[in-house]
Amino acid sequence: MIDFTAARRMMVDGQIRVSDVTDLRLIAAMLELPRERFVPRSKAALAYLDFDIAVTAETPGAEARHLLKPVVLAKLIQAAGVEEGDSVLDVGCATGYSAAVLAKLAGSVVALEQDATLARHARENLSAMPAANAEVVTGPLVAGWPGRAPYDVILLGGAVEVPPESLFHQLKEGGRLVVVQGRTPNGRAMLYRCADGDVTGWPIFDAAAPTLPGFAAPAVFVF
């Protein structure tokens, strides 16, 4: 029988703290939340390992969906500087783990998922935490969720191959968007900030992640 509490502690001590994650609220959230609940039962033993965990099967024409590896998620959230009163949009929440972490830090979380089965799992998981300040909504990831915009923070739970400009207009003045940008294995985590109506971004650390649906670069045809 796996001691998940011990595994969670090892994840935080061996992956999160040693990667310059110092936000005590974030560390406390990751120590508390049972990540094993957010992965398929057959993969529960892998919940605290240092890699992206597939939460769906790969199907023709579509890659499997994943939970970001813990250290990448933690560093993105820390870079976003989530505050207690912030409104957050979690794009590609999958089974809800990232939304559960964000719900411990922010005032409100909109967890967006376009896969109906994943959205159902996310609702069930967040209800069990509980995370009353997190709401799961279903729609195309690339469209964001304008009905609750603008947001203080937007987190993307996977990589984009080009800047996610479709989401920039959903940021508040001073709002932050964090995402892994680029193709595996050459991606970089990016922090975008809205100031005076303009959104600019800069790299914050090297990272790689599976690409989210709708965020692949357009195909280029060479004649």
pLDDT digits (tens, 9 = 90+) for 104-133: 999 999 999 999 999 999 999 999 998 999
Specify the pLDDT at position 200: 97
Q: Is the dihedral of CA 123, 175, 211, 97 positive or negative?
A: negative
Please tell me whether residue 75 adopts helix, strand or coil conformation: helix
- Residue range 4-22: mean pLDDT, rounded: 97
Assigned domain for 220 exists: no
Instruction: Judge whether 55 lies within some domain.
Output: yes
- Provide mean pLDDT across the span 87-100: 98
DSSP category for residue 59: B
Please check whether residue 216 lies inside any domain of the structure. Answer: no
- Whether pTM > 0.85 for this model: the answer is yes
User: What's the CATH code of the domain at 185?
Assistant: 3.40.50.150
Q: Provide the domain limits for residue 70.
A: 4-206
In a domain, 212, yes or no: no
The pLDDT assigned to 37 comes to 97
pLDDT for res 59? 74
User: Which of 21-30, 177-186, 192-201 shows the lowest mean pLDDT across its residues?
Assistant: 177-186
pLDDT of residue 116: 96
Nearest-angstrom CA–CA distance, 16 and 9: 10
| 219 belongs to a structural domain | no
Report the pLDDT averaged over residues 35-41: 97
Q: Domain count of the chain?
A: 1
